[in-house]
Structure 1
Protein backbone atom coordinates (compact mmCIF):
# COMPACT_ATOMS: atom_id res chain seq x y z
CA UNK A 1 0.00 0.00 0.00
CA UNK A 2 1.62 3.26 -1.08
CA UNK A 3 -0.98 5.33 0.76
CA UNK A 4 0.40 4.42 4.20
CA UNK A 5 -1.80 5.82 6.98
CA UNK A 6 -3.96 7.68 4.45
CA UNK A 7 -7.11 5.68 5.07
CA UNK A 8 -8.70 2.93 7.12
CA UNK A 9 -11.13 0.40 5.67
CA UNK A 10 -14.22 0.40 7.88
CA UNK A 11 -16.41 -1.93 5.81
CA UNK A 12 -16.18 -4.08 2.69
CA UNK A 13 -18.86 -6.15 1.06
CA UNK A 14 -18.37 -8.19 -2.08
CA UNK A 15 -21.26 -9.81 -3.87
CA UNK A 16 -20.56 -11.42 -7.23
CA UNK A 17 -18.80 -8.81 -9.36
CA UNK A 18 -19.81 -5.88 -7.11
CA UNK A 19 -17.86 -4.44 -4.21
CA UNK A 20 -18.59 -1.64 -1.77
CA UNK A 21 -15.82 -0.37 0.47
CA UNK A 22 -16.18 2.34 3.10
CA UNK A 23 -13.06 4.26 4.03
CA UNK A 24 -12.20 6.78 6.73
CA UNK A 25 -9.69 9.26 5.35
CA UNK A 26 -6.94 10.66 7.60
CA UNK A 27 -7.48 14.41 7.35
CA UNK A 28 -4.07 14.99 8.96
CA UNK A 29 -2.11 12.97 6.38
CA UNK A 30 1.02 14.56 4.93
CA UNK A 31 -0.56 14.74 1.45
CA UNK A 32 -2.76 17.57 2.65
CA UNK A 33 0.16 19.67 3.90
CA UNK A 34 1.02 20.47 0.29
CA UNK A 35 -2.36 20.01 -1.38
CA UNK A 36 -3.38 22.56 -0.16
CA UNK A 37 -2.43 24.16 3.19
CA UNK A 38 -5.54 25.50 4.87
CA UNK A 39 -7.83 24.03 2.18
CA UNK A 40 -7.17 20.29 1.85
CA UNK A 41 -8.12 18.71 -1.44
CA UNK A 42 -7.57 15.03 -2.16
CA UNK A 43 -5.51 14.74 -5.35
CA UNK A 44 -7.27 12.93 -8.19
CA UNK A 45 -4.44 10.46 -8.65
CA UNK A 46 -4.80 9.50 -4.97
CA UNK A 47 -8.52 8.86 -5.44
CA UNK A 48 -7.68 6.62 -8.39
CA UNK A 49 -5.04 4.79 -6.33
CA UNK A 50 -7.67 3.94 -3.71
CA UNK A 51 -9.53 1.82 -6.27
CA UNK A 52 -6.34 -0.02 -7.24
CA UNK A 53 -5.40 -0.75 -3.64
CA UNK A 54 -8.86 -2.02 -2.79
CA UNK A 55 -8.96 -4.25 -5.89
CA UNK A 56 -5.55 -5.63 -4.85
CA UNK A 57 -6.89 -6.33 -1.38
CA UNK A 58 -10.08 -7.99 -2.66
CA UNK A 59 -8.26 -10.20 -5.19
CA UNK A 60 -5.11 -10.68 -3.08
CA UNK A 61 -3.01 -9.83 -6.15
CA UNK A 62 -0.62 -7.04 -7.05
CA UNK A 63 -2.05 -5.02 -9.93
CA UNK A 64 -0.60 -2.65 -12.49
CA UNK A 65 -2.75 -0.03 -14.18
CA UNK A 66 -2.88 -0.69 -17.92
CA UNK A 67 -5.57 1.80 -18.95
CA UNK A 68 -7.95 4.31 -17.40
CA UNK A 69 -10.92 5.51 -19.45
CA UNK A 70 -13.73 7.93 -18.78
CA UNK A 71 -12.10 9.29 -15.62
CA UNK A 72 -14.38 12.07 -14.38
CA UNK A 73 -13.70 14.09 -11.27
CA UNK A 74 -17.08 15.55 -10.40
CA UNK A 75 -16.41 17.24 -7.04
CA UNK A 76 -13.65 18.09 -4.59
CA UNK A 77 -13.12 15.68 -1.72
CA UNK A 78 -12.22 17.68 1.40
CA UNK A 79 -11.56 15.35 4.37
CA UNK A 80 -12.13 18.14 6.88
CA UNK A 81 -15.77 18.34 5.78
CA UNK A 82 -16.52 14.60 5.53
CA UNK A 83 -13.93 11.90 6.23
CA UNK A 84 -15.97 8.96 4.90
CA UNK A 85 -15.49 7.91 1.29
CA UNK A 86 -17.45 5.06 -0.28
CA UNK A 87 -16.01 3.17 -3.25
CA UNK A 88 -18.53 1.27 -5.36
CA UNK A 89 -17.04 -1.03 -7.98
CA UNK A 90 -18.06 -3.55 -10.58
CA UNK A 91 -15.00 -5.76 -10.90
CA UNK A 92 -14.47 -8.55 -13.40
CA UNK A 93 -11.47 -10.85 -13.62
CA UNK A 94 -10.64 -11.88 -17.19
CA UNK A 95 -7.55 -14.06 -17.36
CA UNK A 96 -4.63 -12.01 -16.08
CA UNK A 97 -6.63 -8.77 -16.25
CA UNK A 98 -9.06 -7.07 -13.88
CA UNK A 99 -11.66 -4.69 -15.29
CA UNK A 100 -13.05 -2.16 -12.83
CA UNK A 101 -15.87 0.32 -13.26
CA UNK A 102 -16.20 2.45 -10.17
CA UNK A 103 -17.45 5.54 -8.45
CA UNK A 104 -16.34 7.24 -5.26
CA UNK A 105 -18.81 9.23 -3.20
CA UNK A 106 -19.38 10.82 0.14
CA UNK A 107 -22.52 12.21 1.75
CA UNK A 108 -22.42 15.22 -0.60
CA UNK A 109 -22.43 13.09 -3.76
CA UNK A 110 -20.13 11.53 -6.31
CA UNK A 111 -16.53 12.77 -6.47
CA UNK A 112 -15.10 10.39 -9.09
CA UNK A 113 -16.21 7.96 -11.79
CA UNK A 114 -13.77 5.79 -13.70
CA UNK A 115 -13.18 2.68 -15.79
CA UNK A 116 -9.82 0.95 -15.33
CA UNK A 117 -8.02 -2.09 -16.65
CA UNK A 118 -5.35 -3.65 -14.45
CA UNK A 119 -2.92 -6.46 -15.13
CA UNK A 120 -2.13 -8.91 -12.37
CA UNK A 121 1.55 -9.34 -11.81
Structure 2
Protein backbone atom coordinates (compact mmCIF):
# COMPACT_ATOMS: atom_id res chain seq x y z
CA UNK A 1 0.00 0.00 0.00
CA UNK A 2 1.49 3.30 -1.12
CA UNK A 3 -0.21 5.34 1.58
CA UNK A 4 -0.26 3.53 4.89
CA UNK A 5 -3.73 3.45 6.47
CA UNK A 6 -5.27 5.46 3.62
CA UNK A 7 -8.09 3.00 3.02
CA UNK A 8 -9.49 -0.39 3.95
CA UNK A 9 -11.39 -2.87 1.80
CA UNK A 10 -15.00 -3.32 2.88
CA UNK A 11 -15.87 -6.03 0.37
CA UNK A 12 -14.94 -7.28 -3.06
CA UNK A 13 -17.05 -9.33 -5.46
CA UNK A 14 -16.79 -10.65 -9.00
CA UNK A 15 -19.87 -10.20 -11.18
CA UNK A 16 -20.23 -10.80 -14.94
CA UNK A 17 -16.53 -10.33 -15.67
CA UNK A 18 -16.20 -7.31 -13.38
CA UNK A 19 -14.51 -6.94 -10.05
CA UNK A 20 -16.40 -4.58 -7.76
CA UNK A 21 -14.58 -3.46 -4.65
CA UNK A 22 -15.85 -1.14 -1.94
CA UNK A 23 -13.25 0.70 0.08
CA UNK A 24 -13.48 3.04 3.03
CA UNK A 25 -11.24 6.07 2.85
CA UNK A 26 -9.62 7.23 6.09
CA UNK A 27 -10.85 10.83 6.21
CA UNK A 28 -8.35 11.57 8.99
CA UNK A 29 -5.33 10.50 6.91
CA UNK A 30 -2.39 12.92 6.97
CA UNK A 31 -2.69 13.38 3.18
CA UNK A 32 -5.78 15.53 3.68
CA UNK A 33 -3.99 17.92 6.02
CA UNK A 34 -2.10 19.22 2.99
CA UNK A 35 -4.64 18.52 0.24
CA UNK A 36 -6.51 20.59 1.45
CA UNK A 37 -6.86 21.52 5.14
CA UNK A 38 -10.28 23.21 4.92
CA UNK A 39 -11.67 21.19 2.03
CA UNK A 40 -10.16 17.72 1.71
CA UNK A 41 -9.88 16.40 -1.84
CA UNK A 42 -8.47 13.01 -2.80
CA UNK A 43 -5.70 13.63 -5.36
CA UNK A 44 -6.34 12.23 -8.84
CA UNK A 45 -3.02 10.36 -8.87
CA UNK A 46 -4.07 8.60 -5.65
CA UNK A 47 -7.39 7.56 -7.22
CA UNK A 48 -5.48 6.17 -10.22
CA UNK A 49 -3.12 4.29 -7.89
CA UNK A 50 -6.04 2.62 -6.08
CA UNK A 51 -6.77 0.65 -9.26
CA UNK A 52 -3.19 -0.62 -9.40
CA UNK A 53 -3.30 -1.70 -5.76
CA UNK A 54 -6.62 -3.46 -6.23
CA UNK A 55 -5.33 -5.31 -9.30
CA UNK A 56 -2.25 -6.40 -7.32
CA UNK A 57 -4.52 -7.62 -4.52
CA UNK A 58 -6.75 -9.50 -6.96
CA UNK A 59 -3.96 -11.12 -8.99
CA UNK A 60 -1.33 -11.62 -6.28
CA UNK A 61 1.19 -10.06 -8.67
CA UNK A 62 3.39 -6.99 -8.31
CA UNK A 63 2.45 -4.65 -11.15
CA UNK A 64 4.14 -1.66 -12.74
CA UNK A 65 2.09 1.10 -14.34
CA UNK A 66 2.80 1.22 -18.07
CA UNK A 67 0.34 3.65 -19.66
CA UNK A 68 -3.07 5.23 -19.34
CA UNK A 69 -5.57 6.57 -21.82
CA UNK A 70 -9.00 8.12 -21.54
CA UNK A 71 -8.38 9.27 -17.97
CA UNK A 72 -11.38 11.37 -17.01
CA UNK A 73 -11.76 12.99 -13.61
CA UNK A 74 -15.46 13.71 -13.31
CA UNK A 75 -16.12 14.54 -9.66
CA UNK A 76 -14.27 15.54 -6.51
CA UNK A 77 -13.82 12.81 -3.91
CA UNK A 78 -14.32 14.50 -0.53
CA UNK A 79 -13.99 11.96 2.31
CA UNK A 80 -16.10 14.15 4.60
CA UNK A 81 -19.08 13.90 2.24
CA UNK A 82 -18.90 10.12 1.74
CA UNK A 83 -15.94 8.00 2.76
CA UNK A 84 -16.95 4.95 0.69
CA UNK A 85 -15.52 4.57 -2.81
CA UNK A 86 -16.60 1.85 -5.24
CA UNK A 87 -14.06 0.60 -7.77
CA UNK A 88 -15.35 -1.29 -10.82
CA UNK A 89 -12.63 -3.09 -12.76
CA UNK A 90 -12.69 -5.02 -16.02
CA UNK A 91 -9.41 -6.62 -17.03
CA UNK A 92 -7.84 -8.63 -19.80
CA UNK A 93 -4.37 -10.09 -20.26
CA UNK A 94 -2.56 -9.23 -23.46
CA UNK A 95 0.90 -10.80 -23.74
CA UNK A 96 2.82 -9.38 -20.75
CA UNK A 97 0.35 -6.57 -20.09
CA UNK A 98 -2.70 -6.49 -17.86
CA UNK A 99 -5.21 -4.04 -19.34
CA UNK A 100 -7.77 -2.38 -17.13
CA UNK A 101 -10.99 -0.46 -17.68
CA UNK A 102 -11.91 1.14 -14.39
CA UNK A 103 -14.58 3.34 -12.89
CA UNK A 104 -14.45 4.88 -9.42
CA UNK A 105 -17.78 5.93 -7.95
CA UNK A 106 -18.24 8.14 -4.93
CA UNK A 107 -21.38 9.49 -3.34
CA UNK A 108 -23.57 8.11 -6.12
CA UNK A 109 -21.65 9.58 -9.06
CA UNK A 110 -18.68 8.68 -11.22
CA UNK A 111 -15.47 10.29 -9.97
CA UNK A 112 -12.96 8.72 -12.36
CA UNK A 113 -12.90 6.67 -15.56
CA UNK A 114 -9.61 5.17 -16.67
CA UNK A 115 -8.12 2.76 -19.19
CA UNK A 116 -4.67 1.65 -18.10
CA UNK A 117 -2.04 -1.00 -18.73
CA UNK A 118 0.30 -2.61 -16.23
CA UNK A 119 3.30 -4.91 -16.66
State the TM-score bracket (shorter-chain normalisation): over 0.9
Identify the residue that residue 24 of structure 1 maps to in structure 2: 24
Partner SS state of residue 76, structure 2? coil
Partner SS state of residue 77, structure 1? coil
Task: Could you tell me which runs of 5 or more consecutive residues in structure 1 were left unpaired when the two chains were aligned.
Answer: none
Identify the residue that residue 115 of structure 2 maps to in structure 1: 115
Task: Could you tell me which runs of 5 or more consecutive residues in structure 2 were left unpaired when the two chains were aligned.
Answer: none
Calculate the TM-score normalised by the size of structure 2.
0.96
Q: How does 1:1-121 map to 2 (within 5 A)?
A: 1-15=1-15, 17-119=17-119
Contact 2:11 2:23 in 1 (8 A): yes
Segments of 4+ in structure 1 off by > 3 A? none
Contact 1:17 1:92 in 2 (8 A): no
Calculate the TM-score normalised by the size of structure 1.
0.94
Contact 1:88 1:103 in 2 (8 A): yes
Contact 2:22 2:87 in 1 (8 A): yes
